[in-house]
Amino acid sequence: MSDSPLVSAIMPVYNAEGFLGASIDSVLAQSYPAVELIVVDDGSTDRSLKIAEQRAAQDRRVEVLRQGNAGVGSARNAAIRQANGLFVAPIDADDLWHPDKLRKQVAAFDASGPLTGFVYCPAIIIDELGRPASRCFHGNRPRGIVWLQLFVNNFTGNASTPLFRTECLRELGGYDETLFTANAYGAEDWDLCLRVAARYEAAYVPECLVGYRRVSGSMSSGTRRMKRSYDAIARRLFDSDWPIPGRFRRYSESTIARYLASQAYRSGNLSEVLRWSALALFRDPPCILDRPFRSSILASMRDRYKLRDLSKERPEEQSPRHTGAPLHWPDVAKYNQPPNHSKNRLWRRLLSHRTEQMIRLQRSTPFPLHSNIGQPSISLSRPAV
């Protein structure tokens, strides 16, 4: 028997038959010795449930739950209720974990102490065939008290990177299920990390430990719905007593708008690119100094006026790193590079100055923040047997 604290991996599933098996296998292949996996089928109409049940029949560490389609927040909360672990590790049904992810994140928890609520790591983007489609930007990222930095920029990246203390999630009510019912879902993971960061510190493992799959038609590709999700969460913050100066509110909205512009650009929706780019510039005009953002605007405008075929030349998809071979974790180091700093020195200095301002404000504000930002009132206690 292992003396290591149990980690409960939780996986919501909705029509993910093409990727589910690989995602489950990446959890079961963890070098960390104490892992359980709770898969929650959220009303799938494909073979997802059957695949999950087959894995459960083969490995006692897998438990499968089923519910009607109620959204990713509800599915994750159902898994948290069943969790036996000291830690909870969410993973989406199309993502992959490095074999050492949980081992290194639990070690980071041990090293950081009881005030830490979650540990995160960078991710590498993979395509539908599992091939690397980006570099992995590692290096120095926010840690410690991070609530304002996380509000301005969701540096956790995606739902499959954090490892949480289970007690923190149960204390805060878990994921917000009302976003799904309001058709404003997509940012539930950011919302939860914000609420944890308001009361606990964050730790960071500077290694690429997650393969984040970019799938056409996935949840994150609905830009208008994603913006509604962001707005609902930000509105709760602004209505609360979070001490967020107006300029940081503008920076945050510009950041999400630039992200949505990149999503629209990737899908070839040029009108949406210009829509979100205009919002980003309106909220934070200096962001035009960011070269990748500026390039996407110019390329979109050129394509809109038929000056060339942009579908054959999308900067963020063109990459000599795209080898055509599926992700192989021992090779991930060759995709690592320092944080994604713009080559524009003025923009880089501006971002550095803003970061210093945020750190000073975080340090000068009484912590933890005693605020309520729409904390769900549902119970996530494990049901009595």
Residues 6 or more apart from 3 whose CB is under 8 A from it?
none
Average pLDDT over residues 182-194: 95
Would you say residue 119 has pLDDT above 80?
A: yes
Q: Using pLDDT thresholds of 50, 70 and 90, give the confidence band for residue 383.
A: low
Q: State residue 136's pLDDT score.
A: 79
Where are the CATH 3.90.550.10 domain residues in the chain?
A: 7-220
Per-residue pLDDT tens over the stretch 208-260 = 999 999 876 554 458 999 999 999 999 998 888 789 999 999 999 999 999 99
Architecture of domain 7-220: Alpha-Beta Complex (3.90)
Q: State residue 209's pLDDT score.
A: 95
Using DSSP, how many helices (H) and how many strands (E) does the chain show? 13, 12
Would you say residue 385 has pLDDT above 90?
A: no
Q: Please state the pTM of the whole predicted model.
A: 0.90
Residue of 117, 93, 107 whose CA lies nearest to 40: 93
Q: Using pLDDT thresholds of 50, 70 and 90, give the confidence band for residue 380.
A: confident
Amino acid at 250: R
Residue of 94, 67, 77 whose CA lies nearest to 8: 77
